[in-house]
Amino acid sequence: MFTLTAEPLDVEHWLRILEQKFQLLNVMDEQKVCFAAQQLLGSTSTWQDTFNAMQPMDHHVTWQEFTTAFRQFYISIGLLNRKLSEFLELKQENKTVMEYVNKFNHLAQYAGTHVDTDDKKMDHFNRGLSCILQEKLYTGGYQTFGALMNAVIAMEGLQRDSQAEWKCKRVIIGSSSHP
């Protein structure tokens, strides 16, 4: 089922899922639009009714025509550009590494050629990390984005454990110095 969402690439995701189902079920091209129309809810269903009403009499909309029109209507170029800018400006700041990784991966779907190789992906990911983590990773020589991401997550865990241990020692030292 599909209903309007705030994420523009949900349209692409839904269309990919339909394509997978069509392939699995051997749906014929002339059936695809009818099948997709049954999956639309709310305003997207209304869009389908309007789209069909605009077609010439006896014209059977092809899957290609449907997907092209659907994308044009529901995927705003301005919104895609805003998501790309958000990706390019993304910084870890006060986020945990996992929060940063999740936001990075989510926005990377809008980044296209900025993340189409592992090297580019690692570069953008690294540039958004805190300075402390960047410094620790500088000599790592990570071969893949996955290796870099795993190292950062591990470092953050070690850093958190170290800080907790230091706080614990300060409490113990502080309490033993006062009789």
**Amino acid letter for position 70:** F
Residue-wise pLDDT for 47-69, tens only, equals 999 999 999 999 999 999 999 99
Provide mean pLDDT across the span 14-36.
93
Provide mean pLDDT across the span 80-91.
93
| pLDDT interval class at 177 (50, 70, 90) | low
Is 44 exposed, middle or buried, given 0-12, 13-18 or 19+ CB atoms closer than 10 A? buried
| pLDDT interval class at 179 (50, 70, 90) | low
Residue 117: the pLDDT is: 94
| pLDDT interval class at 157 (50, 70, 90) | confident
Provide mean pLDDT across the span 124-146.
83
Return the ∠ at Cα 10 (arms to 8 and 12), rounded to 5°. 95
| pLDDT interval class at 178 (50, 70, 90) | low
Residue 66: the pLDDT is: 95
Provide mean pLDDT across the span 88-105.
94
- Nearest Cα neighbor of 111 from 83, 92, 76, 146 is 83
CA-based end-to-end distance of the chain = 69
What pTM, to 2 d.p., does this model score? 0.65
Distance of CA 109 to the CA centre of its chain: 5
Q: Regarding predicted confidence, which is higher, 75 or 38?
A: 38
Q: Which spans in the chain are helix H?
A: 10-25, 29-38, 43-53, 63-74, 77-88, 97-108, 118-128, 131-137, 145-176
